[in-house]
């Protein structure tokens, strides 16, 4: 499981004069989100050190964490299980891909899903199966994410990324603290969970932005989709409108509003999330670029 060494690439944003740098964590794995991969690194290490050969985790039917866990399990010979929230028809390509990577999917109703430890205890023996929380949320996940900072060799910069639970932001913040470098972190919320994220990131060194949720998780507008299409058609780098598209849109807006220190280059962390755009419902909304 390779969780290190993604390149830093100079790219041009539509509607922005100076180029930015993109930390290409989307290249860490062809389908698993880069930050999910980073979050799993030390969880998996701990699991193996303790001699476990199985793990169980939690997610929605469109969970990037579920996919990353399934992929990691398949490549390392670890049997994976995932409690999936809701009883909607299982037509998500995420679920198919998880199963293809050998993951055992256990669908549970939304009420039961709330008691994760209870679910785990009812199905598994904690001496045999390793518990991984939803989204990989844990201190070990912070540690994995913090390593991104060591890989960026610029002396000072502004760093922008998409934020949902705040785990990635927390890890980046820790990495920044440890590096001692003057790095300004900007975490762009992609869903409307202001209170939770603020509470989780209380002591983190980041500025949270809540003006770019586009009204909620996985909600999009024509303007956002056009921005994603224009960026991808200009650069050949795919972004998804659920996470990275919103955060990159925010980056352009904030930069044009001169919200970043002009003396520092701007780095965007591409966290991956390809499966979010690679669905028929999303693709049906894409229109070709105007130019």
Ligand X SMILES: *Cc1c(COP(=O)(O)O)cnc(C)c1O
List residues binding ligand X (CB under 6 A): 33, 35-36, 64, 135, 162-169, 243-244, 271-273
Shortest Cβ 167–ligand X spacing (Å): 4
Q: Using the 8-state DSSP alphabet, how is residue 199 labeled?
A: H
Nearer to ligand X by Cβ, of 138 and 229: the residue is 138
Tell how far CA 125 is from the center of its chain: 30
* Nearest Cα residue to 181 out of 151, 143, 207: 151
Cα(283)–Cα(199) distance, rounded to whole angstroms?
Answer: 35
Shortest Cβ 137–ligand X spacing (Å): 8
Nearer to ligand X by Cβ, of 129 and 201: the residue is 201
Nearer to ligand X by Cβ, of 65 and 81: the residue is 65
Nearer to ligand X by Cβ, of 158 and 271: the residue is 271
Q: Residue 291: helix, strand or coil by DSSP?
A: coil
Burial of 58 (0-12, 13-18, 19+ CB in 10 A): buried
Cα(118)–Cα(116) distance, rounded to whole angstroms?
Answer: 5
User: Nearest residue by C-beta to ligand X?
Assistant: 273
* Nearest Cα residue to 31 out of 106, 102, 98, 103: 98
Which token pair is 61? Answer: 């039917």
Cα(12)–Cα(22) distance, rounded to whole angstroms?
Answer: 10
Nearer to ligand X by Cβ, of 152 and 169: the residue is 169
Shortest Cβ 290–ligand X spacing (Å): 27
Shortest Cβ 182–ligand X spacing (Å): 23
Shortest Cβ 247–ligand X spacing (Å): 8
């Amino acid at each position: 499981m390779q969780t290190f060494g993604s390149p830093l690439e100079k790219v041009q944003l539509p509607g922005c004069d100076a180029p930015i740098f993109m930390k290409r964590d989307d290249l860490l794995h062809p389908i698993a989100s880069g930050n999910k991969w980073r979050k799993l690194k030390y969880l998996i290490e701990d699991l193996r050190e303790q001699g476990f050969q199985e793990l169980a985790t939690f997610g929605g039917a469109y969970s990037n964490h579920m996919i990353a866990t399934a992929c990691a399990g398949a490549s390392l010979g670890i049997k994976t299980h995932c409690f999936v929230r809701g009883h909607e028809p299982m037509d998500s390509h995420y679920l198919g891909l998880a199963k293809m990577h050998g993951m055992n999917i256990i669908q549970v109703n939304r009420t039961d899903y709330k008691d994760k430890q209870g679910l785990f205890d009812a199905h598994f023996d904690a001496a045999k199966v390793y518990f991984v929380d939803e989204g990989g949320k844990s201190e070990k996940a912070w540690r994995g994410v913090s390593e991104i900072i060591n890989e960026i060799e610029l002396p000072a910069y502004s760093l922008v990324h998409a934020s949902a639970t705040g785990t990635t932001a927390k890890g980046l913040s820790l990495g920044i603290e440890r590096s001692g470098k003057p790095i300004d972190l900007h975490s762009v919320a992609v869903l409307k969970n202001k209170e939770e994220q603020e509470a989780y990131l209380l002591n983190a060194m980041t500025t949270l932005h809540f003006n770019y949720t586009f009204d909620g998780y996985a909600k999009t507008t024509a303007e956002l989709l056009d921005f994603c299409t224009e960026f991808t058609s200009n650069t050949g780098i795919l972004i998804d409108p659920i996470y990275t598209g919103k955060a990159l849109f925010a980056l352009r807006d904030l930069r044009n509003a001169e919200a970043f220190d002009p003396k520092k280059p701007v780095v965007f962390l591409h966290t991956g999330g390809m499966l979010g755009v690679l669905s028929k419902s999303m693709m049906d909304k894409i229109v070709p670029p105007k130019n």
